[in-house]
Structure 1
Amino acid sequence: MAVTLTIIIFVISYLLIISGKINQALVAVSGGVLLLISNIYTWNIAFTRYIDWSTIALLFSMMVLVSITKKTGLFTYIAIRFAQQVKGAPIPLLIGTAFLTAIGSALLDNVTTVLLFVPIILTITKLLQLPSFPYLLTIIFSSNIGGTATLIGDPPNIMIGQAVEHLTFSSFIVHLGPVVVILFICMLLLMILRFRKDFSANKQLVKELLEINPNDYLEKTPMLYQSITVLVITMAGFLLHPVFHIDLTTVAVCGALLLLLLTEKELKTEKVFQEVEWITLFFFIGLFMLVGGLQEVGIIDEVARWIIYLTNGDLPVTAVLLLWISGLISQMINNIPFVAAMIPVIQEFQTYGMTYVDPLWWALALGACLGGNGTLIGASANVVVSGIAEAEGEPISFVRFLKYGVPFVIFSLVVSMIYLYIRYLIPFLG
């Protein structure tokens, strides 16, 4: 009965989120509360086991840093400078957006990158009166592809790296970097081919843009220099994570607290908190509760056991099935809980005599990270981009995103499967 009820609540909540008729955060949290009322789990279990407070704290901290920095005009300055460098041309702007997002997502993490970059691109599209959707879609795809390449780029990779000691920062780059580059180039070509007809540069607006002095938008007060300094320190902390092993959330929280303390006289803390995307944070909390229900009644664990049963320990079959299952499931639920369930399963494979399981880790990472491109709730970065865009009056339709996301995920999984076979699995084919 509990399993059936959990599935019903999850499916209804998911359908309501897709419809977009009710606020997504309200739907997700309401679904989570229904699970509590139904005694699927208790508040204590939801808060201590299923809600990922580390992710919530990281998001909150970065939102605080972005909110304060935004007041200084720095993002507007960067946006104008970036747009002027590409002469206001829509396609070079799209290409530049993709490259910067992918590189940022690989070196920092994709959630931090989109928090920093989405306000910039929305400023540019408003200045040039360009459609924002192609750029936001490119940012989401680029962030998830770029984040796949490194240990710190996407939460599933961080979890895998923490679970498997010999998979280092360089290991992820060496093993996942080549396929990431291939997928990024393909994605960029597809975006240009699909949206090139939607772009029309307004010559008058471009002329006005080139005549703007970006320095006029900077508020040259102590808060500007404090914001830049703390942002640089925070980014350095992210980059040095493999060296000092300081948790990314701890770095972000320290950066936010430091900037709040430094700017308290110039910008009151309560004003900063008013700018935080609370809707996005509560949406994440609701999602964690909904997926926690699936974990509580054993549905995710059952999927893991089903994979073992179907593959019977055959490495190539297991790797391919794991890639597709993780890729398809990550479109429907946030990829973090699924990866958490699969890590002990892959470790268990070694007790069945499968001594070399590295291809399974790469299959899980590729499936979970790239599968997140399928829907607006598939990955953390997607939810953040959607929340910022809605707050700025540029909402992204769930269904419209789905039309682009699902086909691209299928394409990405096919490319990844071919890559896995060529690089790792051919020697194991019987």
Structure 2
Amino acid sequence: MASLDNTFMRSASPQFSDDGDDSGMATLPIGDVSSYPQSTTHTYNPQRANYLPEKEKDYLKGRNTCAFWILVILLIILTIGNLALTLTIVGILRLGRGMQFMELVPEADTLARNMDARGSSGAMVVESTEMDVLTEEAIKSTGSHEGDDEAKPAAGDAPRASRLYLVGLHVKIAFLTICWVYFVWMLLVNGEKEVQFVGLTVPMDGREVQISSEPFVLLLNGPFHQDAERMGGYYLFVSAGTNGSGDVWRVPVVRDLEKSPPHTLRQSFIPPEGGVIRLWTNMSSGIFIRMGVDLAVFDEVHGVVYATLILIILYALIIWDVVHRTFAAILMSTLAIGVLAMLGDRPTAQEVISWIDYETILLLFSMMIFVSVMSETGIFDYAAVRTFQLTNGRIWPLIHGLCFVTLAISAFLDNVTTILLMTPITIRLCELMKLKPAPVLMAIVVHANIGGTATPVGDPPNVIITSNHFIATNGVTFLTFTSHMATGVIFVVVQTLLQLRMLFRDVNTLRMAVPEDIEKLKRELHIAPATEQPQLRRQLKKLSTRGIVNRDEYMRTLQELESLYSIRNKPLLIKSTICLAFIIILFFVQSIPSIHSISVAWVALLGMLLLLILHNVSNMEEILAKVEWATLLFFAAMFILMECLSRLGLIRWIGVQTERLILAVPSHYQLAMAIIIILWVSALVSAFVDSIPVTTMMVRIVVAMAQNPKLTLPLQPLVWALAFGPCLGGNGTLVGASANVVCAALAQQRGHIITFRAFLRFGFPLMLGSVLVTTGYLLLAHVVFSWH
């Protein structure tokens, strides 16, 4: 058996550089591939991979065990110290009633002024935080009876509330300190993993490489790209076992090798007896790649457990508002890197940075600046006044109109762009009509996610699905996708609107204050004789459920609004309209596969730059101050966290369990079960985990099931189930979709808080209802009537 020293080349040729993981492929001529040896079977030298002898494994195991117990001791010391400090403070507060005048709680008059200021600002808080509750209790408890002995027992409530707050504060600080100590220690004692890469020529007829009979992670560096699926259908195939007998890893390859920068991909393998992997390609000229093998693989079960715990902690921090969601994402992403380091898989800094999806960050950044400049024209205020006029000031026509406009726009534009355009108008309308903005904003963001489901370009999961070469070449065209998905979206929209009407049966719950005419009717109902009460009740129900306003008040408000809000800068409006038209046109153009040469993020950046040029911006600091930097940091941290969870094996584990469930069902029920499992698993997981890695994982499962001769499942119903799941699942939680986070950030910028719990109570029931309706639609269309 020949050695790979003859074929795994290090950088002897000036055409190939081995300085890093991302070097060496750009200048390699494809014609030179045939000059490399074409042996059939080769032996991979484990010492040139990340091979660990048994003694070194035992050493690492002992070092990690020692680190673990040191960490446990530190955690115990920190916990005891924190409890001692908390008990000391509580004991001090119990020494006497005079301690209530300590400056732990502001004075009553200061609290009252703060509450009045907050109430008069027009800001609506969806759900009070713990401090708000404590503050209101402190106001009530202190009262105005400072010298009255009878009031003294009640005055003790303020220190009691302060003690609870202090206990919670110290518990939070202790917990976060524990997390900090943990990942600091893990990063100190575990270095970055570096895997040796070697060159390898893969011919069309394939080659086999002897590696190891132990589980390993295979790393490939070459002309691979996520958009290569739509660029010609060339692949590199990798299988564990001789003659491709194991599961096949299909890696899309860019056609023009000389112009493609190299990318590094990784995949876990459990080889059969003999430890042989086989590589082959469908490119007639072959392909040159660089390959690395990591034999220091941790137990995937342990990785899944750690990933689940990290995810639970993240959502606990966000749900109970322990810290800001951006800070929580940064903490948990760093903690996840610490867990990877503990398991011997610490990534390099360059690798961590590469996990951030800069396309999404650039799109958000560009559209935030664009919308902020466009708002200077007054167009959003003007559009709000005209919408108020068209709906005659009625609440439900207004909400339905906003939802339908959002649906139409999000079907063809990115959801984030749609929300960036619709949120300022919605908030202004709510302020004009004295409505609580948060419920209306949540309604439009739910419809934005639903509308994006209808077309291949409306939502990122749909782009991932339709970009798959196997799916695109097996009957899933733009027209086919839109016809099947749009039909289901119609049913989902009807269900969502009906559920919204049931959720807000009393439209007064949407108002900031109950109108005077309704209050007057309620007073009359209390004193009216029994014969007149039925008629008064009917009038009250009509006003409460339909949201009808007094005609005289409506006309007076409309005249006042028309005099106050008009277009302030018409030249800038014309420039903004030109730039917006440019962006929308290029959004449509870039979605055509044959001329796909510019991404959505680049389109948004070019449109934003054109607007700044035409506007002749001189104060750049003022423009940058309007960017939601916390939102951009949140997305960056979440991208890193999701990649860490994927490295820990959580995403793969979910996919494997899904596939096993479907295969365990009798054959005549497999289509129905596959639709149900794919739809519900992808929806529920996408409500809590970013939809992009979930969709990427589920696409592989769908394609594998469609190609499995034992199942004989049709492809299209599985594709529709997968497309509906992540898009609708994003409505379940605040962090389930990018549009949700952007909407909450824009609302907070204008003083309206949308908390995680408020969105969960609003969106999760709607998500369950929409997925349930979609399940019925897919089963009826494809199991009963076989539309596919």
* TM-score, reference length from structure 2: 0.52
* Residues 103-252 of structure 1: pairs in structure 2 closer than 5 A: 103-163=408-468, 164-165=471-472, 166-195=475-504, 196-198=507-509, 199=511, 203=550, 206-211=554-559, 212-213=561-562, 216-220=565-569, 222-243=571-592, 244-245=595-596, 246-252=598-604
Change (3 A) 1:295 1:214: farther
Q: How many angstroms does 1:21 deviate by? A: 3.2
Change (3 A) 1:410 1:36: same
Structure with bigger strand share is: 2
Task: Identify the residue that residue 197 of structure 2 maps to in structure 1.
Answer: none
Does residue 724 of structure 2 align to residue 419 of structure 1?
A: no
Report the secondary structure of 1:213's partner residue. helix
Q: How many angstroms does 1:4 deviate by? A: 3.7
- For 1:8, give the aligned amino acid: L
Change (3 A) 1:32 1:174: same
Report the secondary structure of 2:754's partner residue. coil
Q: How many angstroms does 1:2 deviate by? A: 4.5
Does residue 391 of structure 2 align to residue 86 of structure 1?
A: yes
Does residue 685 of structure 2 align to residue 329 of structure 1?
A: yes
| Cα distance in 1 for residues equivalent to 2:576 and 2:686 | 35
Q: How many angstroms does 1:266 deviate by? A: 4.0
Change (3 A) 1:51 1:74: same
Task: Identify the residue that residue 51 of structure 1 maps to in structure 2.
Answer: 356
| Cα distance in 1 for residues equivalent to 2:622 and 2:328 | 27
- For 1:182, give the aligned amino acid: F
* Residues 39-78 of structure 1: pairs in structure 2 closer than 5 A: 39=341, 40-48=346-354, 50-78=355-383
Q: Contact 1:134/1:191 (CA < 8 Å) preserved in 2?
A: no
Task: Identify the residue that residue 654 of structure 2 maps to in structure 1.
Answer: 303
Report the secondary structure of 1:130's partner residue. coil
Q: Unmatched 5+ residue regions in structure 2? A: 1-301, 516-548
| Cα distance in 2 for residues equivalent to 1:247 and 1:8 | 36
* TM-score, reference length from structure 1: 0.93
| Cα distance in 1 for residues equivalent to 2:588 and 2:750 | 30
Q: Contact 2:378/2:565 (CA < 8 Å) preserved in 1?
A: no
Task: Identify the residue that residue 403 of structure 1 maps to in structure 2.
Answer: 761
Q: How many angstroms does 1:52 deviate by? A: 1.9
Change (3 A) 1:400 1:207: same
What count of residue pairs does the alignment treat as equivalent? 426
| Cα distance in 1 for residues equivalent to 2:569 and 2:762 | 42
| Cα distance in 2 for residues equivalent to 1:232 and 1:214 | 29
Task: Identify the residue that residue 316 of structure 2 maps to in structure 1.
Answer: 15
Report the secondary structure of 1:402's partner residue. helix
CA deviations 1:103-132 (Å, max 9, x no partner) are 111121221111100111101111221111
Change (3 A) 1:105 1:341: same
Q: Contact 2:332/2:641 (CA < 8 Å) preserved in 1?
A: yes
Match of 2:326 among 20, 25, 32: 25
| Cα distance in 2 for residues equivalent to 1:421 and 1:55 | 34
| Cα distance in 1 for residues equivalent to 2:704 and 2:673 | 16
Q: How many angstroms does 1:169 deviate by? A: 2.5
Deviation larger for 104-113 or 35-44: 35-44
Report the secondary structure of 1:31's partner residue. helix
Task: Identify the residue that residue 222 of structure 2 maps to in structure 1.
Answer: none
Q: Contact 1:76/1:123 (CA < 8 Å) preserved in 2?
A: yes
* Residues 244-323 of structure 1: pairs in structure 2 closer than 5 A: 244-245=595-596, 246-263=598-615, 265-312=616-663, 314-323=670-679
Q: Contact 2:495/2:769 (CA < 8 Å) preserved in 1?
A: no
Q: How many angstroms does 1:267 deviate by? A: 4.9
Q: Contact 1:98/1:188 (CA < 8 Å) preserved in 2?
A: no
Match of 2:694 among 331, 334, 338: 338
| Cα distance in 1 for residues equivalent to 2:359 and 2:614 | 24
Q: How many angstroms does 1:102 deviate by? A: 0.8
| Cα distance in 1 for residues equivalent to 2:431 and 2:633 | 28
Task: Identify the residue that residue 386 of structure 1 maps to in structure 2.
Answer: 744
- For 1:57, give the aligned amino acid: L
Q: Contact 1:114/1:384 (CA < 8 Å) preserved in 2?
A: yes
- For 2:769, give the aligned amino acid: F
- For 1:242, give the aligned amino acid: S
Q: How many angstroms does 1:298 deviate by? A: 1.2
| Cα distance in 1 for residues equivalent to 2:754 and 2:394 | 23
Q: How many angstroms does 1:19 deviate by? A: 1.2
Change (3 A) 1:30 1:401: same
Q: How many angstroms does 1:240 deviate by? A: 3.2
Q: Contact 2:688/2:736 (CA < 8 Å) preserved in 1?
A: yes
Q: Contact 2:455/2:462 (CA < 8 Å) preserved in 1?
A: yes
Q: Which structure has the bigger radius of gyration? A: 2
| Cα distance in 1 for residues equivalent to 2:717 and 2:438 | 36
| Cα distance in 1 for residues equivalent to 2:319 and 2:627 | 24
| Cα distance in 2 for residues equivalent to 1:44 and 1:205 | 62
Segments ≥4 residues shifted beyond 4 Å: 199-205
Q: How many angstroms does 1:133 deviate by? A: 2.2
- For 1:326, give the aligned amino acid: S
| Cα distance in 1 for residues equivalent to 2:571 and 2:373 | 12
Structure with bigger helix share is: 1
| Cα distance in 2 for residues equivalent to 1:64 and 1:372 | 25
Report the secondary structure of 1:148's partner residue. coil
- For 2:609, give the aligned amino acid: L
Q: How many angstroms does 1:80 deviate by? A: 1.5
Q: Contact 2:308/2:650 (CA < 8 Å) preserved in 1?
A: no
CA deviations 1:124-147 (Å, max 9, x no partner) are 111221111221121121111111
- For 1:44, give the aligned amino acid: Q
Report the secondary structure of 1:373's partner residue. coil
Deviation larger for 236-245 or 63-72: 236-245
Q: Contact 1:319/1:360 (CA < 8 Å) preserved in 2?
A: yes
Percentage of identical aligned residues = 34
